[in-house]
A and B are shown apart, each in its own frame.
Chain A
Amino acid sequence: MSLISLRAAAVALGLCLLLRRLPAKAGPTALLAGSLLFLAGTPVALALHAGHTALTLLLAIPLRRRQGRGRALLWAAVLLECALIPLLRRWGGFSCAALVHIGYLLDARRGGADAPLAARAAALTYFPSLREGPIVDASALAGQLLAPEPLTWERGSRALLRVVTGLAKKLIVADRLAGFVEAAFAAPGACCAGVLWLALLAYGMQIYMDFSGCMDVALGLSALLGVDLPENFSRPYFAAGCAEYWRRWHITLGGWFRAHCFYPLAASRPALALGGRLAKRCGGVRLRRACAMALPLLATWALVGLWHGFAPHYLAWGLVNGLAILAGTALESGKPTLPRGLRVARTFFIISLIRVLFRAGSLKDAGAFYAGLLGFGGAGGWLLLPAAADIAVAALFAALFMALEWRAERHGEGHPSVPAALALCALGIAAVCILGRYGPGYDPVAFYYNRF
């Protein structure tokens, strides 16, 4: 049950054809049926997700009736959703869906979530974004499902190009690097510093190509169905600071935690009081600002870390990211002293180092990896590197995608014409067919964010 599967392609194609012939009001029902058909590849996941959606819809009824009241019920519902996260993660990595459902309940309490039932159910089970995200606002999505955009040649060719781009990122680059990264992180003590630095670089490229490729497939498939999902990436490796990086990476997760954790925490009386006391003791406007936001930010990042997994290394990863953002806020000046290129490189370096905590299996493993990076590890590991031809292909395509991002960064996003998009699709499909890692003989590498 993956977005890169014949099932997903068949469901998307079937819906694409069906939605053009159905009246608009029947659209959400068809999308709901399509999503359930997609989930039916794994019956346990189907049962779990159908049950989860039914539960959320039921919980939303009293919350909507009490509009603005019913705080205890809301807390109970949110805690129940949080309790479901380990279960959702175990049976198919649907913890993104839990955040979507919590957002929906909060919206219901505010009096939103008033679309027809079929549209709400379809939004909560919408298969392109169900597993890995983006984390959508279910009420807004329900509105889109009721009035999808018509499938024009412009929309269709660009959506298809987006899907093909995602496939190329995932199957040509990310999966080519996955084996090396896995092996190096599994035995950091046996690898020399050079191999570990290469593994760190490869991991940075693997996770980005994997996750952004997944989002490209999800957004492309959804666009084919006439629904525009929110972007989840905005060229994060061109960010000039940690805070900017996190505004560009997994945007919808950051947005969700900002809206539902950081802002409420920052506006709470205890946080304001404590932040104020800390700020008084500090000199300088920047330091005071950092102090004022320190506690809510660290608390939010702790939750972000724990959302990825209830383990110390995820918590540490979240807290270190929070500290990096705070440090950036405290140290930043009105006019940067370093050129932007160097700041971008510095950010990539810092984020890559922090990411060791995210990728390692435990704090101990992360410690061993850091020690190895400093030269305190083994002396081998060069045999773990992929074959020269595979390195060349991965490097070539990674460079191509990064060059396209650099161009977009400088000149803004451009949209290719229909003939250009179609021709690029054909080229991309040919490239994926020959250079992609798929078929018998390969263990299919699940999307990285499937595990969360």
Chain B
Amino acid sequence: MAKRWRYRFLALALVCALAGFGWAASYTLRPNDDGSRARLEDFYAQARGGLDVVFVGSSAAYAFFSPLRIYGQTGLTSALYATPNQTVAMLPYILRECRRTQPDALYVVELRPMLASAEDNARIAVDLRRLTDNMPYSLNRARCIEALAPAGDRLSWHADLVKYHDRWKDVRPGDLRLSWGRRDENGGFTFDTGVESIEYRDWRTVNALIPPEAENEAALRSLLELLRDEPMDVLFVATPFALSREQAKKYNAVAALLRVYGYDFLDLNRRVEEIGLDFDVDYADFRHVNILGAAKCSDYIGPILLARRQPAAGADRAGWDAALADYLPREAGAIQAAKEALEHD
């Protein structure tokens, strides 16, 4: 009898050891090729309740807003929970995920995904992996996968070791992880020093509406219903880019829908002059600003956020100050590189 219990205990211990090994191996072997992992790990590295603001969105969020620059300007601590090609349907899961550790933060949700067509949504569904592969294991993550991942092969979505185990050849000592979360030197902000002149059309006088794609509208409505049931402080924004007349009308419809639910919509496409954006200088491509434009957008939104939210007293100021001091020379170098690129152009 005693022997049987000893074996049971040993088996249980080995199962736990295996689970722990799988857990750590999974975190270690997750890909780190596009900044998504660094960005989301930076969010999870923040102290519980230590953030004043969380930026949520796709590349339109992490290319436009620099958390460390905003901290330097306003004292607001912020992080980016942003991955490429997010869809609106992912937002409820993202907000639930963020709320687990930052329940009192102001959430700035970038709504460019509302412009995506059904085909775009289907095409970029694969980018859901950039989100779920960079979330720690949780029930919310499992629900997100069950709701949004393509049918078939769900196992490799839930247990990402199944997909990424062969990355052992590329692992460096710095990749080793026992838990999920590590500060990023740029606070998750991804800057581009390229310069491209883009053709910007001013649609401020267009007030007509075109409903967004039905599935996007339905997803936004369900998000707003969720926020009604589980209130959070959310500011919806749209970052400026060379949008078409049709897209401007879709944004008008989004603004109208948000008003119905009592939310503001800060459409920065209507404030390009106040921001000071120069479309010959501040863009890296027709959808994203470069470091020069990002500095202007961050400087513009900082005071708006400060008007809604005062910096929390308990934040780790010393850590943020050190990170800012480390970041500023890099930012200055990037700005200089962008200016040189502009001169050579």
Which B160-180 residues have a C-beta within 8 angstroms of A? 161-163, 165-166, 168-169
Quote the shortest CB–CB distance from B12 to chain A (angstroms): 10
In the bound complex, do residue B11 and residue A422 qualify as a contact, i.e. CB atoms below 8 Å apart?
yes
CA gap between A6 and B11 in the complex, in Å: 21
In the bound complex, do residue B162 and residue A422 qualify as a contact, i.e. CB atoms below 8 Å apart?
no
User: With a CB–CB cut-off of 8 A, which chain B residues contact A441?
Assistant: 163, 166
User: With a CB–CB cut-off of 8 A, which chain B residues contact A437?
Assistant: 166
In the bound complex, do residue A439 and residue B4 qualify as a contact, i.e. CB atoms below 8 Å apart?
no
In the bound complex, do residue A433 and residue B22 qualify as a contact, i.e. CB atoms below 8 Å apart?
yes
B7 at the interface (CB under 8 A from A): yes
User: With a CB–CB cut-off of 8 A, which chain A residues contact B21?
Assistant: 430
In the bound complex, do residue A434 and residue B11 qualify as a contact, i.e. CB atoms below 8 Å apart?
no
In the bound complex, do residue A438 and residue B7 qualify as a contact, i.e. CB atoms below 8 Å apart?
no
Q: What 0/1 pattern do residues 137 to 176 of B give for CB contact below 8 A with A?
A: 0000000000000000101100001110110110000000
A24 at the interface (CB under 8 A from B): no
Quote the shortest CB–CB distance from B31 to chain A (angstroms): 12
CA gap between A371 and B301 in the complex, in Å: 74
Q: What 0/1 pattern do residues 410 to 447 of A give for CB contact below 8 A with B?
A: 00000000110011011001100111111111000000
User: With a CB–CB cut-off of 8 A, which chain A residues contact B10?
Assistant: 418-419, 422
A376 at the interface (CB under 8 A from B): no
Quote the shortest CB–CB distance from A339 to chain B (angstroms): 41
In the bound complex, do residue B156 and residue A439 qualify as a contact, i.e. CB atoms below 8 Å apart?
yes
User: With a CB–CB cut-off of 8 A, which chain A residues contact B162?
Assistant: 438-440
Task: Indicate whether A423 sits within 8 Å of B14 (C-beta atoms), given known contacts A153-B4, A418-B7.
Answer: yes
Instruction: Using CB atoms, name the residue of chain A closest to B169.
Output: A389
Query: How many A-B contacts are there with CB distance less than 8 Å?
Result: 51
CA gap between A61 and B40 in the complex, in Å: 69
In the bound complex, do residue A434 and residue B25 qualify as a contact, i.e. CB atoms below 8 Å apart?
yes
In the bound complex, do residue A440 and residue B153 qualify as a contact, i.e. CB atoms below 8 Å apart?
yes
B332 at the interface (CB under 8 A from A): no
In the bound complex, do residue B163 and residue A440 qualify as a contact, i.e. CB atoms below 8 Å apart?
yes
From A418, A422, A426, A436, give the contact of B165 (CB < 8 A): A436
CA gap between A440 and B18 in the complex, in Å: 22
B17 at the interface (CB under 8 A from A): yes
CA gap between A441 and B164 in the complex, in Å: 9
Which A1-47 residues have a C-beta within 8 angstroms of B? 6
User: With a CB–CB cut-off of 8 A, which chain B residues contact A425?
Assistant: 14
In the bound complex, do residue A435 and residue B18 qualify as a contact, i.e. CB atoms below 8 Å apart?
no
Q: What 0/1 pattern do residues 140 to 169 of A give for CB contact below 8 A with B?
A: 000000000000010001000000000000
**Interface size range of chain A in the complex:** 20 to 34
User: With a CB–CB cut-off of 8 A, which chain A residues contact B25?
Assistant: 430, 433-434
Quote the shortest CB–CB distance from A42 to chain B (angstroms): 17
CA gap between A439 and B155 in the complex, in Å: 9
Which B1-24 residues have a C-beta within 8 angstroms of A? 3-4, 7, 10-11, 14, 17-18, 21-22
Task: Indicate whether A430 sits within 8 Å of B18 (C-beta atoms), given known contacts A438-B162, A439-B165.
Answer: yes
Quote the shortest CB–CB distance from A6 to chain B (angstroms): 8
Quote the shortest CB–CB distance from A176 to chain B (angstroms): 10
CA gap between A157 and B7 in the complex, in Å: 10
User: With a CB–CB cut-off of 8 A, which chain A residues contact B156?
Assistant: 439-440
CA gap between A434 and B163 in the complex, in Å: 10
Which of A6, A153, A418, A434 counts the most B-chain CB atoms under 10 A from its CB? A434
Quote the shortest CB–CB distance from A118 to chain B (angstroms): 32
Which A153-209 residues have a C-beta within 8 angstroms of B? 153, 157
CA gap between A255 and B21 in the complex, in Å: 44
Task: Indicate whether A433 sits within 8 Å of B163 (C-beta atoms), given known contacts A153-B4, A153-B7.
Answer: no
Quote the shortest CB–CB distance from B134 to chain A (angstroms): 18
Instruction: Using CB atoms, name the residue of chain B closest to A430.
Output: B21
In the bound complex, do residue B168 and residue A434 qualify as a contact, i.e. CB atoms below 8 Å apart?
yes
Instruction: Using CB atoms, name the residue of chain B closest to A390.
Output: B169
User: With a CB–CB cut-off of 8 A, which chain A residues contact B18?
Assistant: 426, 429-430
From B4, B17, B153, give the contact of A426 (CB < 8 A): B17
User: With a CB–CB cut-off of 8 A, which chain B residues contact A157?
Assistant: 7
Which of B22, B161, B163, B166 counts the most A-chain CB atoms under 10 A from its CB? B166
Which of A387, A430, A440 counts the most B-chain CB atoms under 10 A from its CB? A440
CA gap between A387 and B170 in the complex, in Å: 13
CA gap between A439 and B168 in the complex, in Å: 14
In the bound complex, do residue A435 and residue B168 qualify as a contact, i.e. CB atoms below 8 Å apart?
yes
User: With a CB–CB cut-off of 8 A, which chain A residues contact B155?
Assistant: 6
User: With a CB–CB cut-off of 8 A, which chain B residues contact A387?
Assistant: 169
Which of B3, B10, B25 counts the most A-chain CB atoms under 10 A from its CB? B10
User: With a CB–CB cut-off of 8 A, which chain A residues contact B17?
Assistant: 426
User: With a CB–CB cut-off of 8 A, which chain A residues contact B11?
Assistant: 422
User: With a CB–CB cut-off of 8 A, which chain A residues contact B29?
Assistant: 434
User: With a CB–CB cut-off of 8 A, which chain A residues contact B4?
Assistant: 153
User: With a CB–CB cut-off of 8 A, which chain A residues contact B161?
Assistant: 433-434
CA gap between A436 and B156 in the complex, in Å: 14
User: With a CB–CB cut-off of 8 A, which chain B residues contact A434?
Assistant: 25, 29, 161, 165, 168
Instruction: Using CB atoms, name the residue of chain A closest to B18.
Output: A426
CA gap between A425 and B21 in the complex, in Å: 14
Quote the shortest CB–CB distance from B131 to chain A (angstroms): 17
CA gap between A425 and B10 in the complex, in Å: 12
User: With a CB–CB cut-off of 8 A, which chain B residues contact A429?
Assistant: 18
CA gap between A119 and B252 in the complex, in Å: 72
User: With a CB–CB cut-off of 8 A, which chain A residues contact B166?
Assistant: 437, 439, 441
Which B224-245 residues have a C-beta within 8 angstroms of A? none
CA gap between A153 and B9 in the complex, in Å: 12
User: With a CB–CB cut-off of 8 A, which chain A residues contact B14?
Assistant: 422-423, 425-426
Quote the shortest CB–CB distance from A260 to chain B (angstroms): 43
Instruction: Using CB atoms, name the residue of chain A closest to B164.
Output: A439
Quote the shortest CB–CB distance from A76 to chain B (angstroms): 46
Quote the shortest CB–CB distance from A427 to chain B (angstroms): 9
Which A262-285 residues have a C-beta within 8 angstroms of B? none
User: With a CB–CB cut-off of 8 A, which chain B residues contact A423?
Assistant: 14
User: With a CB–CB cut-off of 8 A, which chain B residues contact A389?
Assistant: 169
CA gap between A282 and B169 in the complex, in Å: 62
Quote the shortest CB–CB distance from A435 to chain B (angstroms): 7
Instruction: Using CB atoms, name the residue of chain B closest to A154.
Output: B7
User: With a CB–CB cut-off of 8 A, which chain A residues contact B165?
Assistant: 433-436, 438-439
Quote the shortest CB–CB distance from B98 to chain A (angstroms): 28
Quote the shortest CB–CB distance from B23 to chain A (angstroms): 11
CA gap between A422 and B10 in the complex, in Å: 8
User: With a CB–CB cut-off of 8 A, which chain B residues contact A430?
Assistant: 18, 21-22, 25
Q: What are 30 A-B pairs at a CB distance below 8 A?
A: A153-B3, A153-B7, A157-B7, A387-B169, A418-B7, A419-B7, A422-B11, A422-B14, A425-B14, A426-B17, A426-B18, A430-B22, A430-B25, A433-B25, A433-B161, A433-B165, A434-B25, A434-B29, A434-B161, A434-B168, A437-B166, A438-B165, A439-B156, A439-B162, A439-B165, A439-B166, A440-B153, A440-B156, A441-B163, A441-B166
Known: A418-B7, A434-B29, A436-B165. 15 other contacts (CB 8 A): A153-B7, A157-B7, A418-B10, A419-B7, A422-B10, A422-B14, A425-B14, A426-B18, A429-B18, A433-B161, A434-B161, A434-B165, A434-B168, A437-B166, A439-B163
B: which residues have CB within 8 A of A? 3-4, 7, 10-11, 14, 17-18, 21-22, 25, 29, 153, 155-156, 161-163, 165-166, 168-169
Pairs A-B, 3 closest by C-beta atoms: A439-B162, A426-B14, A153-B7
